[in-house]
Amino acid sequence: MIDRRPLDGLLAGDGLQPSFADLGEELSAVEFCVVDLETTGTGRDAAITEIGAARVCGGELLGEFQTLVDPERPVPAEISVLTGITPSMLRGAPTLAAALPAFLEFSRGCVMVAHNARFDMGFLRRGCEQLGYDWRPRQVVDTLALARQVIPHGEVANYRLGTLAAHVRADTTPTHRALEDVRATVDLLHYLIARVGNRDVTTLEDLVATMRPVSPTRRDRKPWAKDLPHVPGVYWFYRNDTGGGRPPGSPSTAAPDDQLPLPEPAGTPAREVLYVGTSLDIRRRVQGYFTASEKRARMEDMIRQADGVAYVECRTPLEARVRELRLITTHQPRYNRRSKRAAHPLWITLTEEAFPRLSVVRDPKEKVRFGPFAGREAAQLVVEALQESFPVRRCSARLSARSPSPACALAEMGRCPAPCDHRISPEDYASIIGLVAGALAGRTGQVVAAHGARLGPLVDDERYEEAEDVRRRLQAFLDTSRRHHRIDSVASCPQIVAARRTADTFAPAGAAGRPGWEIHVIRYGRLAGAARTRPGESAVRVAEETVLLAESVPPPRSGAAAFPEEVEQVAGWLEQPGVRLIEIQGDWVWPLHTTVAAEDLPAILAGHGPDRDD
């Protein structure tokens, strides 16, 4: 039975606020500072003669800024003819040292906008560098680049500001004076934003991505995202191998919303999963693949190969990460790079023979295991750490307890007890193996002491490269020990039911941004059920229903009932602040001296750390 008291008493009056970080910044809420500069020329020796700017938000003018600037150098006659700014007009004007701080204060916190922004931003950056100011605009929008992507070549003769201002019927005609040009640019900016609205460009991130050119393939496939919902979950791009393929613009597919056993992508068995991802907002994330904000070359190739997008909605971030991991592990998408070997990690085991040794294996079956490791190099590093700490044999030959065999070079060097020629009895060698097994079980003190004893003389002799190798081996062992026991502690529990209070936007439609509880059922380390309460729902009642509907997970013969990477995801969620255990079967515990904190390790190695009872 689930105890109702700890959770239901906390459901009222939380006061937490939602977060919209994953959705992007809506254009209607962005404050833009549109700027234009007049200068004495275009080279590096040129200087600013006038600054004009306007601050706008949501289509409304918030303020304007204009000042002439004494360039402290002659103004070429052709520049005076072009701009109308004469040397006499600049006498008595503030220098850049006086004008620039006022402009920086006016534009603080804004997204900078300019027509041919590279020119204006270059002068502003150079001026800030000369005067010691920090020039870090949070974003720059170039109306020239944006117009080239939004307005087809056939509509306008060229993309000069004067031509575009006339095309959009701006209220102000550009005259090569800063403020007039700024007002024309403001009208151009608003026109361009309105025009890209029908392309689903609603955020600043979308607008910036629109400035950059994209391939025709990605542009043609952008309609795929229109059928996707603004919900959290997992999405995948797929390819039909049946010969026909879906044409660009075909609707996307939603996978069935069943319980946590992962649904297969909808469609025929011939459908190939190309790439899997997860997001708080599936539609917005997938839209990003069809814009220039996606710069990865392999994603360009993936989109060219794809025939469509499918998705499954998830109830919690943990559920989404686990579903993503299971999809990647099952389908091995060619364009995913991480987690593809999650189902087949490497482990360190002790062999079952008269004189056991350490071995790196892919499938330890029911043997005592230590790990997991993503690759053989990482596993071998930990094997070396154990071999440096205990006189366990390193040869791979199968030895007999009855018939001796010739000793190897390590035995002659005194670095092996030589069970091969029976210099050590099976009983004494078994005592050594017992110490190795103890280290794997969490008693790390002897490994730390052995490496500390090795490290001191190396440092004293200034053999720093060898000392670094010793430190790296020890750190690899300690990190693995922590990961191993973290996974084992969760996997040993037949059932854990836990909840965490959250107010983020990761919720089904209708509950987004509302305070609620994430509820998870974990069985032998496997995520068996996930739910989230809606406003007004009892967290305990939802937890009880989630337990009843959760996947049935039989006890594993050894290890966890899930991939180690999934168990680590589960453990990471359980260890978050605010997680409350509702029900637990078994003991969720770690051995006391499983690892050493990174900040404590140098002192312990130097002999000044806290005593360790192993």
pLDDT in tens, 425-470: 888 888 999 999 999 988 888 898 888 888 888 888 888 898 889 8
Residue 461, classed as helix, strand or coil, is: coil
282 and 311 Cβ atoms separated by less than 8 Å: yes
Q: Are strands 369-373 and 346-350 parallel, antiparallel or unpaired?
A: antiparallel
pLDDT in tens, 40-53: 998 888 999 999 99
Tokens 């979308």 belong to residue: 206
Residue 176's φ and ψ, nearest 5 degrees, are 65, 25
pLDDT of residue 20: 36
Burial of 178: CB neighbours in 10 Å, binned 0-12, 13-18, 19+: buried
pLDDT of residue 514: 60
Q: Is the model's pLDDT at 504 over the cut of 70?
A: no
Q: What are the beta bridge partners of residue 360?
A: 348
Find all residues with CB under 8 Å of 476, minimum gap 6, and list them.
Answer: 378, 381, 382, 385
Kindly give the interhelix angle for 426-440 and 445-460, rounded to the nearest 10 degrees.
90
Residue 24, classed as helix, strand or coil, is: coil
Higher-confidence position of 246 and 324: 324
pLDDT in tens, 167-199: 999 999 999 899 999 999 999 999 999 998 877
pLDDT in tens, 546-583: 999 999 999 998 888 888 999 999 999 999 999 999 99
The CA distance from 330 to 264, in Å, is 9
Average pLDDT of the residues of the chain: 84
Q: Would you identify the CATH topology of the domain 215-331?
A: GIY-YIG endonuclease (3.40.1440)
Lowest mean pLDDT among 87-96, 241-250, 370-379, 491-500: 241-250
Q: What's the token pair of residue 604?
A: 């312990």
Q: Is the model's pLDDT at 525 over the cut of 80?
A: yes
pLDDT of residue 107: 94
Tell me the residue type at 369.
Answer: R
Q: Cis check for the bond before 372: say yes or no (omega within 30 of 0).
A: yes
> How crowded is residue 410: how many other Cβ atoms within 10 Å of its Cβ?
16
Confidence at 371, pLDDT banded by 50, 70, 90: confident
Q: 553 vs 108, 413, 490, 547, CA distance in Å? A: 56, 52, 14, 12
pLDDT of residue 2: 46
Q: What's the token pair of residue 127?
A: 């001026």
Q: What is the mean pLDDT of residues 66-90?
A: 91
Q: What is the mean pLDDT of residues 133-146?
A: 92
Higher-confidence position of 55 and 516: 55
The CA distance from 19 to 499, in Å, is 20
Q: H or E element: which one contains 324?
A: helix 317-331
pLDDT of residue 462: 86
Check residue 249 and report its DSSP letter: T
Confidence at 343, pLDDT banded by 50, 70, 90: confident
Burial of 389: CB neighbours in 10 Å, binned 0-12, 13-18, 19+: buried
The CA distance from 473 to 386, in Å, is 9
Confidence at 503, pLDDT banded by 50, 70, 90: low
pLDDT of residue 14: 36
Q: Is the model's pLDDT at 594 over the cut of 60?
A: yes
pLDDT of residue 3: 43
pLDDT in tens, 207-244: 887 887 777 788 788 889 888 988 889 999 999 865 44
Q: Would you identify the CATH topology of the domain 27-201?
A: Nucleotidyltransferase; domain 5 (3.30.420)
Helices (H), 177-296: 178-196, 204-211, 216-221, 282-288
Find all residues with CB under 8 Å of 586, minimum gap 6, and list them.
Answer: 492, 493, 494, 495
pLDDT of residue 252: 57
Q: Are strands 358-361 and 346-350 parallel, antiparallel or unpaired?
A: antiparallel
Tokens 């260890």 belong to residue: 575
pLDDT in tens, 268-313: 456 899 999 999 889 989 988 887 777 788 888 999 999 999 999 9
The CA distance from 492 to 481, in Å, is 16
DSSP 124-172: HHHHHHHHT-----S-EEEHHHHHHHHS-GGG-S---HHHHHHHTT-SS
Q: Which of 213, 217, 209, 261 is nearest to 237 (CA)?
A: 217
Q: 583 vs 2, 6, 498, 545, CA distance in Å? A: 6, 11, 7, 14
Parse the chain into domains and list their residue ranges.
27-201, 215-331, 346-487, 489-585
pLDDT in tens, 111-121: 999 999 999 99
pLDDT of residue 236: 95
pLDDT of residue 244: 42
Question: HSE-up of 518 (CA within 13 Å, CB side)?
Answer: 25
Q: H or E element: which one contains 33?
A: strand 31-39
Q: H or E element: which one contains 273?
A: strand 271-279
Lowest mean pLDDT among 254-263, 374-383, 397-406, 542-551: 254-263
Tokens 């987004």 belong to residue: 512
Q: What are the beta bridge partners of residue 311?
A: 235, 254
pLDDT in tens, 380-439: 999 999 998 998 888 877 887 777 777 776 766 767 887 787 888 888 888 999 999 999
pLDDT of residue 270: 66
